Chain A
Amino acid sequence: MNSWITNNVWLIPAAPIAASLLILAFGKAARRAAAAVAIVGQIAALTMSIFAFVPTLHSHGFRAVQNFTWFTFGEQILRIGFVLDPLAAAMLLMIALVGLCIFVFSIGYMGEDKNFSRFFAYLSFFSGAMLGVVVANSLLLLFVFWELVGLASYLLIGFWIERPSAAAAAKKAFITTRIGDMGFFLGILLLYHRSGTLLFYDGGRGCLEPVALSAIGSSVTLVALLIFCGAMGKSGQFPLHVWLPDAMEGPTPVSALIHAATMVAAGVFLVARVYPIFSVGAINGVTPSLTVVVWIGVITGLMAALIAIAQFDIKRILAYSTVSQLGLMMVSLGAGGVAAGIMHLLAHGFFKALLFLGAGSVIHGLHHEQDIRKMGGLHRLMPITFLTYAVGMMALSGVPFFFSGGWTKEEILHATSNWPRSHLPHYLALIGVILTALYMTRQIIYVFFGNRRAASEHAHESPSVMAIPLIVLAVCAVFLSVVLTPAWPWLESYLTGHPARFDARLLIQPMIVVSLALVGAGVSVGIWMYRRAGEADPLQHAQPALFRFLENKMWIDEIYGRTVIALSAILARLSDWMDRHVWDALVQDIGRIGQFFGRVTTSADERVINAGVDESTSGAHGLGRLMSRWHSGQIQTYLGAVALGMLALVLLYAWLG
């Protein structure tokens, strides 16, 4: 069974995609069947992921690769393949499990929607595409699934297509990520040009293996940065982060899937997957491309955390927290903490899905109210949601010891403190940790404590189909911390291949104390600031100008509107003018030449040829009248006659030959 799955990894993404096609074939009416098929597909993917996970445990550095020829184009052989290694196996497990929870939650959340079955079809497709990204062993195949993820996110963000804002958000997400993908594709081309292969691992000849890496030569930094463009688009890194908060227009389970398990994880995963390209020629673990990754990550992380403080939409706050956490992951990857970054990605997958589904449960309970200023006092009305949300909040804030996020964040801080180039990212990351604790405290106080405000009058706890996924995810977010502690860094050793030993003395590290102090500071400042928060935000009261700056997302959208978008509008108008006045005139002139020739031949016809023909026609007239009975003017009759004549010829030919 185990070896069977390692040789057929492609089945894992195939299961949800097949489910998606099946649902689309059922049509709109089969609501129950649609949900059942989607969940069965996801369970199949989860089961296979578990079976695929088992063999990777047996040996360190396990890697199973199957490559095959896609097609031969003359002498060029294009090969693609699938790979199973610890990185892929851990991601598979996370995506399949988180995806399953979100699917189950969606049954409750989307229960009233008229396009329920279409929603599940897209959801399955999304999950399958992301699983495909993870197991691809070729940059080209990865790119294919990558674009499928983009397509699925477009369909899902714009799921409520009748809302203009949803349609606009979907378009924005698609176009913004496409800008990054443009760079990604150029990077793929350049890599192929230099190394002659796009397979990651190919028995020593793959593009992540030493022979090909040395063949890339001096352009390796360019290749790495171009690939990073794609990751920037997908993982919402500055300056391409603008689509991610707008993606909140989609249904909440979609936000959970985009922000936790699939879309944004793809970018971080991509960088981790092609890490050898980034780290070629590293001196002390520093290369130019990795330095760019670090700084982009730092800017993104800090900027998004600041913006999150001044948002009032419950989902937008979470969206900016995702952007900020992704920035942190990028910092970690760039500073050499690959395992730490991926561990944070995995842990983040669980607790961010938990937070989004919790937010979904709140929104559902409050009849689609998303403004936190209208909530409040929900901890009694929605106890399960409150408890699970609190778990997610503490994991996100990085409370150490019991919550997975605490350990992974500590690992990231550790990695950044060891970065030889500069200590600034480390300190900025520490500030990011305080800010995270602060805005999460603000959100939880607004939503669950204090007086009940307008929307919470009729609040109700969500049904169990929505509560159970929350509980499962909360348990995962806590349980995962067992394998993350520095005392027994099992997950890290699993990812890096270094054996892990249990050592209780390592449990207390200086960094743990630091992060505990920072989180404590963030939470207490939050409680002190927002203890009497009402309709108006205390920060808004104290610093109106700063608050407005942050509330409007630092005016980045507006800056883009004035610069990039305005420029492309000018270009569009220019090419429109060219079309109308230059090309069109050219075409018309060519047309006139044709007309002129036409006139010349007509007059020749009439004066020279017709005169002679007229004579003979009158003789043919009688015969023509006879034949004209056959000519019904129906082109199809003529065609049929031609076909029958051809048939007769074929038969004659076969008869004789």
Chain B
Amino acid sequence: MSTVAFAVIAILTLAAALAAATLQKLMHAALSFAVMFVGISAFFFLLGAEFVGLVQIFVYIGAVAVLIVFTILLTRDDTGKVRSFNWGGVIVAIAVFAGLVWAIAKTKSLPLTPSQIEPITVQRIGELLMTNYVWPLQCVGVLLTAALIGALILVMEEKS
């Protein structure tokens, strides 16, 4: 069951990613992008990181995908319709993929079975965020505020 589900999710995720990268219409690409994130979240669920999976769904599908769709709607331009594709990128991407796979294959000591664990509860994550990870948490808070203000200033209409 798990193997079949894993294979289905893997194929779905990679197919959606490929569609998001190559589809001609921006809107279709954005939708495939959302599907891909559902797939990645499914991986997280399979791996026992439910909280991360949910956060991923909320942030990416709930926020980032919607933002992208909004941006697409706000920036309708005709120049985008011109077929333009840089084949150099394909070569670089394939080269990087080959290199990574070679590196993975060459590494001998990768564990094959996941270790048995107690499920990590949200409570534990919350405790860690407030103790060990309190500095990163504060920094992320500042960063997000800065990003919010920055994005607003960027798109604010200049007063004429």
**Chain A residues close to B by CB (< 8 Å):** 71-75, 587-588, 590-591, 594-595, 636, 640, 643-644, 646-647, 650-651, 653-654, 657
Contacts and interface: CB of A to CB of B under 8 A. Distances in A.
Main secondary structure of the interface of B (DSSP, over half): helix
Interface stretch (B27-35, B74-82, B149-157): B149-157
B121 interface: yes
A583 to B, nearest CB: 12
Contacts of A653: 103
A564 B156 CA distance: 37
Contacts of A654: 102-103, 106-107
A594 B153 contact: yes
Nearest to B98: A647
A591 B153 contact: yes
B143 to A, nearest CB: 15
A654 B101 CA distance: 11
Contacts of B123: 74
Contacts of B86: 636
A8 to B, nearest CB: 14
A587 B145 CA distance: 12
B96 interface: yes
A506 B100 CA distance: 82
Contacts of A587: 152
Contacts of A591: 149, 152-153, 156
**In the A-B complex, the 6 residue pairs with the closest CB atoms:** A654-B103, A74-B121, A647-B99, A647-B96, A73-B50, A640-B92
Contacts of A636: 86, 89
A396 B96 CA distance: 71
A591 B152 CA distance: 7
A232 B51 CA distance: 36
A590 to B, nearest CB: 6
A480 to B, nearest CB: 41
B99 to A, nearest CB: 5
B50 A71 contact: yes
B135 interface: no
Interface of B: 45, 50-51, 54, 86, 88-89, 92-93, 95-96, 99-100, 102-103, 106-107, 119-123, 149-150, 152-153, 156
A657 B99 contact: no
Contact of A75 (B51, B89, B103, B119): B119
Nearest to B42: A71
Contacts of A74: 50-51, 119-123
Contacts of A651: 99, 102-103
Nearest to A77: B119
A644 B92 contact: yes
Given A73-B50, A587-B152, A594-B149, A650 B119 contact: no
Most buried by B among A644, A651, A657: A651
Given A591-B153, A636-B89, A72 B99 contact: no
Main secondary structure of the interface of A (DSSP, over half): helix
A590 B123 CA distance: 34
Contact of A650 (B93, B99, B156): B99
6 contacts: A72-B50, A74-B123, A587-B152, A594-B153, A651-B99, A654-B107
Nearest to A654: B103
Contacts of B50: 71-74
Contact of A640 (B45, B88, B120): B88
Contacts of A588: 156
Nearest to B48: A72
Nearest to A642: B92
Nearest to B88: A640
B92 A72 contact: no
Contact of B107 (A72, A647, A657): A657
Nearest to B125: A74
Given A73-B50, A591-B156, A644-B92, A650 B103 contact: yes
Contacts of A73: 50-51, 54, 122
Nearest to B124: A74
Nearest to A649: B99
Contacts of A644: 92, 95-96
Contacts of B96: 643-644, 646-647
A72 B156 contact: no
A515 B41 CA distance: 60
A383 B119 CA distance: 69
Given A73-B50, A74-B122, A640-B88, A590 B149 contact: yes
